[in-house]
């Protein structure tokens, strides 16, 4: 029969190296957002419930840990997985809302970490293409109802989500996820769009001494 001491020892087995690294990274991300690169190894150790020496054994130095945490935070795969999990058979309104919610959350997270640690890496071009392909598959059942092909609608949703994630651009006027989904679905008037042909071009206006429209 297993003794109490043996049970305690079996439950106190050290984490595998990769699991320990993941645990430390999870603890450091909120600290980075709060303190930026000024976060100390002592603060990290306290948050993770470990000794400072464990940090250096796992990562070598604090900067390596910070870089690993930033890469983890910016990893696009969790967003891709969340988008793939959206059921294409759901009503269009539900799908658009879910897409906008996930995209805006992603952009807010990226800007949050960039604000405190600076720009860490250039955008990866294929990320946008891959997101668009995933969203296009979600919207494919309604392709005939859309005003643009699903992959183009994906970029429209991305633009709406991206711009709404910048507090400075909103000038104190916040848009909820429901607001943004409604804008994407019905626009500002909710009626068919008539092709607009300007009566006066900017060049004509300049020739006539009229103020141009910018």
Centroid of chain to Cα 100: 10
Residue 143 to residues 5, 31, 36, 95, 138, Cα–Cα distance (Å): 64, 44, 44, 13, 10
pLDDT of residue 7: 46
User: What's the CATH number for 14-73?
Assistant: 1.10.10.60
Residue 10 has pLDDT above 50, yes or no: no
Closest CA to 79 of 154, 182, 142: 154
pLDDT of residue 89: 97
Q: 176 near 170, Cβ under 8 Å?
A: no
Could you tell me the residue ranges of all domains in the chain? 14-73, 75-186
Lowest mean pLDDT among 18-27, 30-39, 124-133, 169-178: 124-133
* pLDDT over 70, % of the chain: 76
pTM: 0.75
Average pLDDT over residues 164-185: 85
pLDDT level of residue 87 (50, 70, 90 thresholds): very high
pLDDT level of residue 150 (50, 70, 90 thresholds): very high
Average pLDDT over residues 170-192: 83
Residue 109 to residues 162, 211, 212, Cα–Cα distance (Å): 11, 41, 39
pLDDT, mean over the chain: 81
* pLDDT over 90, % of the chain: 50
Q: 41 near 55, Cβ under 8 Å?
A: yes
Give the pLDDT confidence of 29-52 residue by residue, as tens digits: 999 988 888 899 999 999 999 999
Q: 160 near 188, Cβ under 8 Å?
A: no
Residue 56 has pLDDT above 80, yes or no: yes
pLDDT of residue 2: 46
pLDDT of residue 214: 32
Average pLDDT over residues 181-196: 75
pLDDT level of residue 115 (50, 70, 90 thresholds): confident
Query: Residue 95: is it exposed, middle or buried by C-beta count within 10 angstroms (0-12/13-18/19+)?
Result: buried
């Amino acid at each position: 029969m297993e003794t109490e001491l043996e049970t305690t020892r079996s439950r106190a087995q050290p984490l595998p190296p990769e699991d320990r690294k993941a645990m430390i990274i999870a603890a450091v991300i909120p600290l980075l957002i709060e303190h930026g690169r000024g976060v100390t190894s002592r603060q990290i150790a306290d948050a993770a419930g470990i000794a400072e020496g464990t940090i250096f054994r796992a990562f070598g130095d604090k900067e390596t840990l910070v870089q690993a945490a930033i890469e983890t935070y910016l990893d696009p795969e969790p967003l891709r997985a969340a988008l793939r999990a959206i059921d294409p058979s759901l009503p269009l309104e539900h799908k658009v809302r879910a897409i906008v919610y996930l995209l805006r959350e992603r952009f807010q997270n990226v800007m949050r970490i960039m604000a405190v640690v600076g720009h860490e890496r250039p955008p990866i071009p294929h990320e946008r293409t891959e997101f668009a392909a995933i969203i296009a598959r979600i919207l494919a059942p309604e392709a005939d109802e859309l005003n643009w092909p699903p992959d183009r609608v994906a970029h429209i949703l991305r633009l709406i989500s991206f711009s709404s994630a910048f507090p400075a651009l909103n000038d104190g006027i916040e848009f909820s996820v429901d607001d943004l989904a409604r804008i994407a679905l019905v626009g500002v008037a909710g009626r068919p769009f008539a092709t607009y042909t300007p009566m006066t071009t900017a060049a004509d206006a300049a020739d006539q001494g009229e103020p141009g429209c910018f």
